[in-house]
Structure 1
């Protein structure tokens, strides 16, 4: 499938109402994408046929429950889009129930499904209706901890570095288990079995970006063997993701606080995969949080 795509590359921005889809769309517009908000899913294929005649370009399209036919038709239509040779990514934005309730209380805008039911029920209903779409998504971003500017920066960082969407990307994400699992991860690896620099007084205040932390973590036999095995696993499975048209894979590596071990191993893994010719994006989600274990 890779290499046989038509000239258009499409990002469908979808997800829960209040999760930041309009902000994301503006960021894509800044990146030079042709953008449409609230496009009825039934118009997707006709739009692509029109845009294809204009030559190679990237499109970012917001489609969600505001469209009356969206829930019934998104799955068969997205399937047809891919069958016809277009490259389609699905970017699903989500946020916690409490955050969404707070955002709606600030904007005082009605929820699309909230005409006859309370806001909390409307949010839960929407999440249930979109559960299968979330499973289909290429990328899931939890915006609970993002303000408007941070979400915009995240979109610019993730997509601005990708010259062509169809070129495969491995996104390496370090995180702390104490702050929760990353919702967007395809693979999650627990690094809490490795020796912890937090308990070494002269290393405690440093981060995994510091050479002394890297040396400490990578000096262990288990860390070196883990890197060897994980590099081999990713180099083995990633071509199969490419074959299925899923050229964006998120690999999350976690320790307790997301500051020491996960950061050091993520950086070392990135070096290995870059050396193997992979396009790598690195995020240290919890690096700037406190330095607890």
Structure 2
């Protein structure tokens, strides 16, 4: 792995099934603009019209790109004149690994007029001249998609993935069902319920009177503290798996008092820990 971070623009190429898509999407997560399978003769024009944003440009070319092996060296010389910082990344894997990946994905190889084994061999042979021009060769045979993403984030000079993950805290009503996309669901129906206080029933969990009422119960603060401790243990591990967003769902019966109060408190604590947090009270429109 390079000691100094690679900077864009990038040309990503390599073998089908090797992980080019994972790599390009990882760069997109860092704000790069990725252009896939563009005709080779249009690439210099793209670079010329994107000079102001070249550092954040990624072009993906592969065996589907007409004339790749014949014209790549010439095109690369043209691009280098426009931008000397251009880097070519070639992604590959062993034939056995590629065959297994195609079998699992049940997708045809681009060279589909022959056996899979022959297609992989022919593609590798045809792309050897392109491979020789690469600034970086990544063999993904022993890498999971997460491993590959970590490697390219590191190469691009971004190792702090935790602060890029968005934590969405959502309150909800169990009467309307729990959110199916939630990463973590907390059921807070065990807490005291202000619904049974006549003066609080029409209010919500973020109203001052309800907040003050919850403050009378030490067990509420203790429960929230334990939930926050669990989240601060879990969130770095979600970040390590390079999740772009984690949804924390907090539910009570009506989705109005307890879940809203706890969601607000949890969101504040997680935000204080340095995460980007958004809060959404899903069933607010149903409150009467």
TM-score w.r.t. length of structure 2: 0.50
Query: In structure 1, what is the equivalent of residue 136 of structure 2?
Result: 139
Worse overlay, 64-73 or 10-19: 64-73
Runs of 4+ more than 4 Å apart: none
Query: In structure 2, what is the equivalent of residue 126 of structure 1?
Result: 123
Q: 2:73 aligns with which of 72, 75, 86?
A: 75
Query: In structure 2, what is the equivalent of residue 35 of structure 1?
Result: 34
Aligned in 2, Cα 1:159/1:9: closer, same or farther, shift over 3 Å?
Answer: closer
1:10–1:86 CA contact under 8 A, matched in 2? no
Query: In structure 1, what is the equivalent of residue 111 of structure 2?
Result: 113
Displacement after TM superposition at 1:57 (Å): 3.4
Alignment of 1:75-94 (within 5 A): 75-94=73-92
Deviation by residue 1:15-37 (Cα, 9 ceiling, x = unmatched): 00000000000110111111112
Unaligned regions of 5+ residues in structure 2, if any? 1-6, 160-288
2:36–2:61 CA contact under 8 A, matched in 1? yes
Displacement after TM superposition at 1:146 (Å): 1.0
1:9–1:86 CA contact under 8 A, matched in 2? no
1:21–1:93 CA contact under 8 A, matched in 2? yes
Displacement after TM superposition at 1:49 (Å): 1.3
Matched, 1:12 2:5: no
Q: Residue 109 of structure 1: SS of its match in structure 2? A: coil
> RMSD of aligned C-alpha atoms?
1.8
Q: Distance in 1 between matches of 2:77 and 2:54?
A: 21
Unaligned regions of 5+ residues in structure 1, if any? 1-7, 163-293
Deviation by residue 1:241-267 (Cα, 9 ceiling, x = unmatched): xxxxxxxxxxxxxxxxxxxxxxxxxxx
Aligned in 2, Cα 1:77/1:108: closer, same or farther, shift over 3 Å?
Answer: same
Between the two proteins, the alignment pairs up a number of residues equal to 153
Aligned in 2, Cα 1:85/1:12: closer, same or farther, shift over 3 Å?
Answer: closer
1:42–1:69 CA contact under 8 A, matched in 2? no
CA radius of gyration, larger in:
2
TM-score w.r.t. length of structure 1: 0.50
Query: In structure 2, what is the equivalent of residue 63 of structure 1?
Result: 61
Matched, 1:51 2:50: yes
Q: Residue 136 of structure 1: SS of its match in structure 2? A: coil
1:31–1:160 CA contact under 8 A, matched in 2? no
